[in-house]
A and B are shown apart, each in its own frame.
Chain A
Amino acid sequence: MGIVETKNLVFEYIRRDEEGNVEGITRAVDDVNLSVGQGDFIAILGHNGSGKSTLAKHINAIHYPTEGTVWVDGKDTCEDANLWDIRQEAGMVFQNPDNQIIGQVVEEDVGFGPENLGVPTQEIWQRVEESLKAVGMYEFRKYSPNKLSGGQKQRVSIAGVIAMHPKCIVLDEPTAMLDPNGRREVIRAVRALNDVEEITIILITHYMEEIIYANKVFVMDKGKIAMEGSPKEIFSQVEKLKSLRLDVPQVTLLAHELRESGLAIPAGILTCEELVASLSAIRRRRGWG
């Protein structure tokens, strides 16, 4: 069994009026079967309201399934006895860092998680140092979090999760507010955690260029998994992605437009090097012809 498994997962929000009568039911997650192996880098895409955040919140037992089952490291999230293990093993980083920071000083905030796990003091400091260095915030360790900008706070939040030494980190649009450099640093840190520490990554994002490193991409629409495959397979389908309110990286879009204009470029180009190589091949062929 993988680190995260879901079987026929359904989640419904019940909307009630002021008297508590049921006004309607919204099915936010609809029959999702997901299998994530230990050490995988998974990306989940989907437009606003497609159900991806609701799905993510099942992975560390913030939401419980209405129907179906979710297992984290083989443990059913519905069983109370598993709750603490699951919350430590599957860390979560949310979009808005202001909702996640509680410490008066950056290093205290990062140490809060391991402290609650009962980690010895000396090791807490080690973990705080490693975690802050991993996100490039070590020089700010003595700062008050409310003196930091949004992007800096987000990196502190990520450090706070890393310090818990989770097996799996779920990041729900962690870069939505960062500048290009901040985004690069966060994604680089996330990739390093995946490559070096073999922490499983589940990345939810609206930035298409962030997912090209994933082993597998899921695209959600109306609570269901609408597409699933490698980044190349997903990005080969430019029109389908657009119909799901999504997009492709600029290099993929340019390659697609050139294909539409009649150039023989393969579908699903993900990097600048690939595009340059295939244009060079076309030029050589034309030169010889």
Chain B
Amino acid sequence: MSIILDHVSHVYEAGTAMEFAALKDINLVIPDGQFIGLIGHTGSGKSTLVQHLNGLLAPTGGNIYYNGADIHDNDYNKKELRSKVGLVFQYPEHQLFEIDVFSDVCFGPKNLGLDKKEVELRSYAALKQVGLEDEYFYQSPFDLSGGQKRRVAIAGVLAMQPEVLILDEPTAGLDPKGRDEILDQIARLREETGMTVILVSHSMEDVAKYVDRIIVMNKGQVMFDNEPREVFRHYRELEEVGLAAPQVTYIMQELKKSGFDVDTDIITIEEARRAILDALK
């Protein structure tokens, strides 16, 4: 089971002076259970791409298949698709609106037409999955801190029990500890449930630490699609399109230039620490 994008293109405002091709002939296979990092500079087409995955935007060319069915067939159940492919937008806490935290999380599953008990069980489980303590359940979501609000918003999507979770810059604006907490929780959740996670991020350090596969978008096309180590080997090409390798990769390059015997494709602090200690033995 998987998501397949077959020659997908998207042109905004075709036929006008503002015509803009946001996606150009994208071919991707996203199998179950992968942890994918989607990177690209602002305006590269990342957000347009993820909005195609749950049918919010329809391609102007090509087809998208979810578990073997074309999601834009006339008889395809889009509502079900949106419960299966959960999308957490940037700054999702701006979408909180209910009187208390628990009701807010219930909103999604309630709209799936589930019975009240099932809705509440799912919402409770989702709030536990994001690590929110019981004491906050009946508080107004607006009284919570930034990191807590973000968690409530993510729980709202998790309560739909999606098979694919897409997060568009889930850590923007959070303090460093808050960033680590959210990403650790998402990684743990993925291990426990086996769901596919697509993380849209501007932090190369975060992507290097968590994902198994990186898709790099540039000018509406897929520029690289590989394991993090392989992708970051192309750091010069990444820099040309407004991205970079993790800082630690540059440190290793500098050490190599100064004659240290270290690998230059290191992407995490722990690997770097071990490599440097070995080189100094």
Cβ contacts under 8 Å, B111 to chain A: none
Question: Which of B43, B173, B175, B176 meets A152, CB within 8 Å?
Answer: B43
Q: How far is the CA of A246 from the CA of B175 in the complex (A)?
A: 7
Cβ contacts under 8 Å, B260 to chain A: 279, 283
Which of the segments A76-84, A125-133, A175-183 contacts the partner chain?
Answer: A175-183
Question: Which of B18, B42, B147, B204 meets A149, CB within 8 Å?
Answer: B42
Closest to A260 in B: B273
Inter-chain contact A182/B258, CB cutoff 8 Å: no
Q: How far is the CA of A96 from the CA of B90 in the complex (A)?
A: 11
Question: Which of A95, A176, A181 meets B243, CB within 8 Å?
Answer: A181
Do A272 and B254 form a contact, CB below 8 Å, given A177-B172, A182-B242? yes
Q: How far is the CA of A246 from the CA of B247 in the complex (A)?
A: 18
Tell me the residues in window 153-193 of chain B with beta carbons closer than 8 Å to chain A beta carbons. 169, 172-179
Cβ contacts under 8 Å, A176 to chain B: 172-173
Question: Which of B90, B176, B205, B244 meets A177, CB within 8 Å?
Answer: B90
Inter-chain contact B175/A250, CB cutoff 8 Å: no
Do A254 and B176 form a contact, CB below 8 Å, given A48-B145, A276-B255? no
* Interface: A150 (CB within 8 A): yes
* Interface: A115 (CB within 8 A): no
Inter-chain contact A150/B90, CB cutoff 8 Å: yes
Inter-chain contact B280/A286, CB cutoff 8 Å: yes
Question: Which of A48, A258, A275 meets B174, CB within 8 Å?
Answer: A48
* Interface: A75 (CB within 8 A): no
* Interface: B50 (CB within 8 A): no
Closest to A283 in B: B280
Cβ contacts under 8 Å, B255 to chain A: 276, 279
* Interface: A166 (CB within 8 A): no
Do A251 and B41 form a contact, CB below 8 Å, given A49-B145, A246-B176? no
* B interface residue count range (under 10 / 10 to 19 / 20 to 34 / 35 or more): 35 or more
A284 to chain B, nearest CB (A): 11
* Interface: A151 (CB within 8 A): yes
Question: Which of A95, A246, A254, A283 meets B248, CB within 8 Å?
Answer: A254
Cβ contacts under 8 Å, B1 to chain A: none
Inter-chain contact A181/B174, CB cutoff 8 Å: no
* Interface: B92 (CB within 8 A): no
Cβ contacts under 8 Å, B90 to chain A: 150, 177
Q: How far is the CA of A180 from the CA of B41 in the complex (A)?
A: 8
Inter-chain contact B176/A257, CB cutoff 8 Å: no
B236 to chain A, nearest CB (A): 14
Question: Which of B42, B173, B205, B270 meets A206, CB within 8 Å?
Answer: B173
Question: Which of A149, A151, A251, A286 meets B251, CB within 8 Å?
Answer: A251
Encode contact with B along A237-269: 1 for CB under 8 Å, 0 otherwise. 000001001110111011001100101000000
Q: How far is the CA of A180 from the CA of B206 in the complex (A)?
A: 13
Inter-chain contact B280/A245, CB cutoff 8 Å: no
* Interface: B202 (CB within 8 A): yes
* Interface: A173 (CB within 8 A): yes
Q: How far is the CA of A85 from the CA of B102 in the complex (A)?
A: 46
Encode contact with B along A154-184: 1 for CB under 8 Å, 0 otherwise. 0000000000000000000100111111110
Inter-chain contact B280/A206, CB cutoff 8 Å: no
Do A179 and B172 form a contact, CB below 8 Å, given A257-B273, A261-B277? no
Question: Which of B169, B178, B202 meets A180, CB within 8 Å?
Answer: B202
Closest to A248 in B: B176
Cβ contacts under 8 Å, A215 to chain B: none
Q: How far is the CA of A178 from the CA of B179 in the complex (A)?
A: 16
Inter-chain contact B280/A263, CB cutoff 8 Å: yes
Cβ contacts under 8 Å, A209 to chain B: 247
Question: Which of A49, A208, A258 meets B276, CB within 8 Å?
Answer: A258
Inter-chain contact A180/B244, CB cutoff 8 Å: yes
Cβ contacts under 8 Å, B247 to chain A: 209, 249-251, 272
* Interface: A47 (CB within 8 A): yes
* Interface: A282 (CB within 8 A): yes
Q: How far is the CA of A250 from the CA of B43 in the complex (A)?
A: 27
Tell me the residues in window 252-270 of chain B with beta carbons closer than 8 Å to chain A beta carbons. 254-255, 258, 260, 269-270
* Interface: B246 (CB within 8 A): yes
Cβ contacts under 8 Å, B179 to chain A: 206
Using CB atoms and an 8 Å cutoff, list the residues of chain B in contact with chain A.
18, 40-43, 90-91, 145-147, 169, 172-179, 202, 204-205, 242-244, 246-248, 250-251, 254-255, 258, 260, 269-270, 272-273, 276-277, 280
| Interface CB pairs A-B, < 8 A, 26 | A47-B177, A48-B173, A49-B146, A147-B18, A150-B42, A151-B43, A152-B42, A152-B43, A178-B202, A179-B243, A180-B202, A180-B242, A181-B243, A182-B41, A206-B173, A247-B176, A249-B247, A250-B251, A258-B276, A261-B277, A272-B251, A279-B280, A280-B258, A283-B260, A283-B280, A286-B280
Supply 5 further A-B pairs (C-beta < 8 A) apart from A49-B145, A272-B254: A47-B177, A150-B90, A152-B43, A254-B251, A276-B251
